[in-house]
């Protein structure tokens, strides 16, 4: 007999009954992203994120990451053509963006996907935490 299924941490947080000592502090806190430079491409941003390291990805995610990388490379060329006024390139770019967004979500690169996976939450530093950092 297995007993009752455990309630997900996200449910406890929504209802206000979450306690790290009881429910586990299994969520890794992630610093908020600073504003990206305007000239940075999606491929450059992806390369930077991968260089920093993404702790939840495994070797089995390598094919999806390779596909994502090639789609981001393809996106740069389509984007240039779309800016030159090509209607077909603009339509293809929008379709490719949908595929990229879906793949990013499947890999856990958006807040909803990370919450679904129980991986991380973004937490802005409070004023008290900022003062403590300055002091220490």
The domain limits of the chain are 59-124
28 within 8 A of 119, measured Cβ to Cβ:
yes
Two tokens, residue 39: 């000239």
**How does pLDDT run across 21-65, given as a tens digit for each residue?**
777 655 444 555 555 556 677 878 788 777 766 777 788 888 988
Q: What is the CA 121 to chain-centroid distance, rounded? A: 10
Two tokens, residue 89: 């390139």
Q: pLDDT tier at 126 (50, 70, 90 boundaries)?
A: confident
Q: Is the pLDDT of residue 81 over 50?
A: yes
CB neighbour list of residue 71: distance below 8 Å, 6 or more residues apart: 96, 99, 100, 103
Q: Which of 32-36, 96-100, 105-109, 112-116 has the highest mean pLDDT?
A: 96-100
CA-CA-CA-CA torsion for 112, 115, 104, 92, nearest 10 degrees? -10
Q: What is the pLDDT of residue 99?
A: 94
Beta pairing partners, 28: 120
9 within 8 A of 118, measured Cβ to Cβ:
yes
Q: What is the pLDDT of residue 102?
A: 92
Q: What is the pLDDT of residue 52?
A: 67
């Amino acid at each position: 007999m297995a007993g009752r299924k455990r309630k997900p941490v996200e449910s406890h947080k929504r209802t206000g009954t979450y306690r790290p000592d009881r429910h586990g502090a299994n969520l890794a806190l992630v610093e908020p992203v600073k504003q990206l430079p305007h000239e940075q491409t999606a491929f450059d941003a992806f390369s930077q994120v991968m260089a920093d390291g993404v702790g939840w990805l495994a070797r089995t995610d390598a094919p999806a990451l390779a596909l994502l990388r090639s789609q981001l490379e393809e996106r740069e060329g389509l984007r240039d053509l779309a800016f030159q006024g090509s209607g077909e390139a603009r339509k293809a770019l929008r379709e490719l963006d949908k595929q990229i967004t879906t793949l990013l979500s499947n890999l856990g690169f958006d807040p909803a996907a990370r919450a679904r996976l129980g991986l991380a939450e973004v937490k802005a530093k409070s004023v008290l935490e900022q003062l403590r950092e300055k002091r220490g």
